Chain A
């Protein structure tokens, strides 16, 4: 079929079926928006979890050259002190399940990765974050035993319990992920059903045209392509709107708000929207093409 003729057929079809094409577009937008939120929330959880070695409960920060903590007295931790601390941690097994050592360089690298979307990353130099032992406990509720044992020990700047902050955050994030994925799934089902209905209706309103096409021997592709293309076009507009909405949400809501409330927490940023956008588009287009082809196969037999 000639391109120009096909385009005019698609245009006529869309105009005749405008309200329903718009509804396909809106359902696509909403379902992809929710799906996108779910994916972003999940990426956020992964981003955070990855760096906290899954379930670190206590961090023991050493004294650095410029540490301001009174316990340090302006001196950096020595190798002997480090070894002594490690030995004491090892003695506290089985309460201490795992101990990870993080050097200044590793801490710097982690920070850069974690705050890749934030202007903070540029202001930090190697050494600003002191070296530390990251301690995983077999019983997270007994973190105070470790905290009291190491607070004020020679070479230790600060002991920090991160469990509570993190758990709360992960619970919220997982909640957002699950809720948005469930809603997204429901909306995707709506989208599929709506697309199928749209095709059925379009096939019905254009049964004269398709009847004649069949009679004069137009190929299946020629008969079906305009229907599929209408759905694909509506879907594409919907995908664009969903990505735009996700981008605005990140840019104007999430990033400024979280930067204010939780300045310490690494967050997924606008760049992650671009990362997931192709997947959303491919998924939705696949759904659109598959749904319309199956529906047409059912309602437009030769």
Chain B
């Protein structure tokens, strides 16, 4: 589903590569934790998948397409295959829960009929039924992240990228959010989650890829957070 072949990334005005010589394969339907300290390259890895950044060296394949060769005008099509969730939720503050989720479909030109059908289903799946008309600031952090996940998932992408989705949440809520991601994973969606939340990684026992200074130092199935350090 996602394949990195000898990928390096050096940001302009930076001497040290953010990623260097990364080889990584994520199969369809996998759930992968990408762990590591701040600045280890986790976010860069996700940004390369989205083609938010160019690749300095190597090849990134996403859903069978070579990202670097993709012309700019085809980037939107790539991103429709990928849902994205962030630490800071990134909800639109003046739109309701329902409108926030519907927005993702509206800008893709989906019909009103389809939107009215899919959005309530998705909100129910993330456990937000009955809160459709709330504004983001009337929700708890965990609920806001559920809205963000609903928005990322409402178009049924084949990949869900999560960049520290639990970074702003307390441990119990964090676990709830990851359980939700786990449920989404079981519908066949590939999930790549960057995190430095050791509790969660240790509890879920999924594949763990550890980055340090832009290198992969560990890649193990059913791993825990700290074994490589």
Contact = CB atoms under 8 A, between A and B. Distances in A.
A175 B151 CA distance: 62
Interface residues of A, number: 19
A220 B72 CA distance: 9
Interface stretch (B106-114, B118-126, B206-214): B106-114
A184 B203 CA distance: 70
B80 A222 contact: no
B77 interface: yes
B90 A222 contact: no
Contacts of A209: 92, 103
Contacts of B78: 217
A218 B73 CA distance: 11
B158 interface: no
A274 to B, nearest CB: 39
B104 interface: yes
A191 B151 CA distance: 39
A264 B90 CA distance: 72
Contacts of A2: 106, 109-112
Interface string B49-92: 01000000000000000000000110111111111100000101
A266 B42 CA distance: 78
Interface residues of B, number: 28
A214 B79 contact: yes
B155 interface: yes
B92 A216 contact: no
Contacts of B82: 217
Interface in A205-228: 208-209, 211-220, 222-223
Interface in A1-22: 1-2, 4-5
A302 interface: yes
A222 B84 CA distance: 19
B106 A217 contact: no
A162 B46 CA distance: 81
B90 A216 contact: no
A109 to B, nearest CB: 59
Contact of B151 (A211, A216, A218, A302): A216
Contact of B107 (A4, A208, A216, A302): A216
Contacts of A216: 79-80, 83, 104, 107-108, 151-152, 155
B13 to A, nearest CB: 18
A9 B118 CA distance: 22
Contact of B73 (A211, A214, A220, A223): A220
A29 B11 CA distance: 46
Contacts of A215: 50, 79, 84
A217 B76 contact: yes
A302 B75 contact: yes
29 contacts: A1-B106, A2-B106, A2-B112, A5-B107, A208-B90, A208-B93, A209-B103, A212-B92, A212-B107, A212-B151, A213-B107, A215-B79, A216-B80, A216-B83, A216-B108, A217-B75, A217-B76, A217-B77, A217-B79, A217-B81, A217-B155, A218-B107, A219-B76, A220-B72, A220-B73, A220-B76, A302-B72, A302-B75, A302-B76
Enumerate the 5 nearest inter-chain pairs by beta-carbon distance, A residue then B residue, closest first.
Answer: A217-B80, A217-B79, A218-B107, A217-B76, A216-B104
Interface of B: 50, 72-73, 75-84, 90, 92-93, 103-104, 106-112, 151-152, 155
Interface of A: 1-2, 4-5, 208-209, 211-220, 222-223, 302
Given A5-B107, A215-B84, A218-B108, 4 more contacts: A209-B92, A211-B90, A302-B72, A302-B76
